[in-house]
Amino acid sequence: MHPYFETSMRTKTLKKNKINVVTLGCSKNVYDSEVLMGQLKASGKDVVHEEEGNIVVINTCGFINNAKEESVNTILEFVQKKEEGDVDKVFVTGCLSERYKPDLQKEIPNVDQYFGTTELPGLLKVLGADYKHELIGERLTTTPKNYAYLKIAEGCDRPCSFCAIPIMRGKHRSTPIEDLVTEAEKLAANGVKELVLIAQDLTYYGLDLYKKRNLAELLEALVKVEGIEWIRLHYAFPTGFPMDVLDVMKREPKVCNYLDIPLQHISDTILKSMKRGTTKEKTTKLIKEFRALVPEMTIRTTLIVGYPGETEEDFQLLKEWVKEMRFERLGCFTYSHEENTGAYALEDDVPEEVKIARANEIMEIQSQISWELNQEKIGQTFKVVIDRKEGNYFIGRTEFDSPDVDNEVLIDAATTYLKTGDFTTVKINEAEDFDLYGDVVN
């Protein structure tokens, strides 16, 4: 047993250790925290997520400036609590810790220990728990009980110049199909009805294990899991996209007609500098192909503005392309200059206020597109899953919307009673930029 736990048990016999796991960043971090909590619970530990606890584990994000800042501020906040005697121990794990461990140890020495993204057994050890290999798929999910993230691979082999993920998460490693099926079965047994498949790049799935892109075969296996009603695909890379995935999407009602495919930019000059391995022509052709093969598909993408060397001309090209493509869902980020990435050698020459103005312009165009597409939904009926109740509304999503990032359907709670996790049929009677309003159709 770790010496800290022996002394704490001797000196504080009346105080039982409670471990509070705090999660920052993306869905992959949510997943990692859930695995950590599942392991702790299996070792008999009292573990909570973002509630009071005398031992704190912060799962950090190190992706871009804002996320790093939030992670550092959270660490400082809990170190302060430790100094004031409100918490006993503070441990830090995750991407920021993987990327900047020596700096963090120097700058914030009052953290008890820092762990990288692959050091789960070590972290469990200091928390007085053993890493249990047999716990495949055992997680304490922190999302609403009707959906869960299913991480199908770790790391990334892509060389994108703006991205620090390979530094923090290492090379691409797929999880075997049978392990993911086991995990999906356990989630379904706990009431999960929707799986959101995540990875740094879904399209690479299987290349390391099966020597071929094997996402379609994985989907074929997952649709057989009893109790799972929706399977959603997040984070696909546009180069080398396995088109057999679209056949499964068309054929299998459980696979949502939805794809999240971050495209980042469309100017050939910028795409080349970003090392995206594609061009405006190829990307446009791919999106048109998707729409021809699965006409009802909703495509979500993300873009980066203000990348080094992005001229007004590059930006205008991007703007016109966004208008032309009419993506159903789109998010836009300002470029963040990250150490040890390929683009770090370039001059970060687009002023911050120009980056922000460009992002706002793109989002303005998108909100108009979204409003127009939503108007077309008035009078139509959709299958909707209920995620939560908020104020006077039950809030749900269609198969064309992912949790936390996409449109929501609001149903008046005064006229209808619904339960979280229920699927119901809703007729849309009003639509805004990003919200739909409707009534349940019996």
Report pLDDT digits (tens) over 313-352: 999 999 999 999 999 999 999 999 888 888 889 999 999 9
- What pLDDT, on the 0 to 100 scale, is given for residue 3? 35
- How large is the average pLDDT for residues 417-440? 94
Query: Parallel, antiparallel, or unpaired: how do β-strands 408-412 and 393-397 relate?
Result: antiparallel
**pLDDT exceeds 90 at position 13:** no
Task: Taking residues 44-63, report their average pLDDT.
Answer: 90
Six token digits for residue 401: 């919307």
Distance CA 82, CA 189 (A): 39
Confidence category of residue 15, pLDDT binned at 50, 70, 90? low
Q: How far apart are CA 54 and CA 46, in angstroms?
A: 11
pLDDT(6) > 90: no
Taking the C-alpha atoms of residue 171 and residue 183, their distance in angstroms, rounded to an integer, is 23
pLDDT at 405 over 90: no
The answer to which of 97-101, 185-189, 219-223, 429-433 has the lowest mean pLDDT is 97-101
pTM to 2 decimal places: 0.79
Identify the pLDDT of residue 2.
38
CA 242 from centre of chain: 21
Cross-strand partners of 389: 394
- Reported as a single tens digit per residue, the pLDDT across 184-194 is 999 999 999 99
What angle is formed at CA 125 by the lines to CA 120 and CA 126, rounded to 5 degrees? 105
The predicted pLDDT at position 171 comes to 87
pLDDT band at 138 (very low <50, low <70, confident <90, very high): low
16, with CB counted inside 10 A (0-12, 13-18, 19+), is exposed
Residue 120, classified by CB atoms within 10 Å of its CB into exposed (0-12), middle (13-18) or buried (19+), is: middle
Residue at token pair 């993230």 = 149
Q: Phi first, then psi: what are they for 299, rounded to 5°? A: -110, 125
pLDDT of 27: 83
φ, ψ dihedrals at 147, nearest 5°: -135, 155
Q: In what order do the strands lie in the sheet with 147-151?
A: 147-151, 194-198, 230-233, 255-260, 298-305, 329-334
Out of 86-95, 152-161, 419-428, least confident range = 152-161
- 107 token code pair: 């700058």
Q: In angstroms, rounded to a whole number, what is the distance separating the alpha carbons of residues 429 and 83?
A: 55
pLDDT top residue among 133 and 276: 276
Residue 388 pLDDT exceeds 50:
yes
Percent above pLDDT 90 for the chain: 68
DSSP state of 264: B
Least trusted range by pLDDT, from 146-150, 288-292, 403-407: 403-407
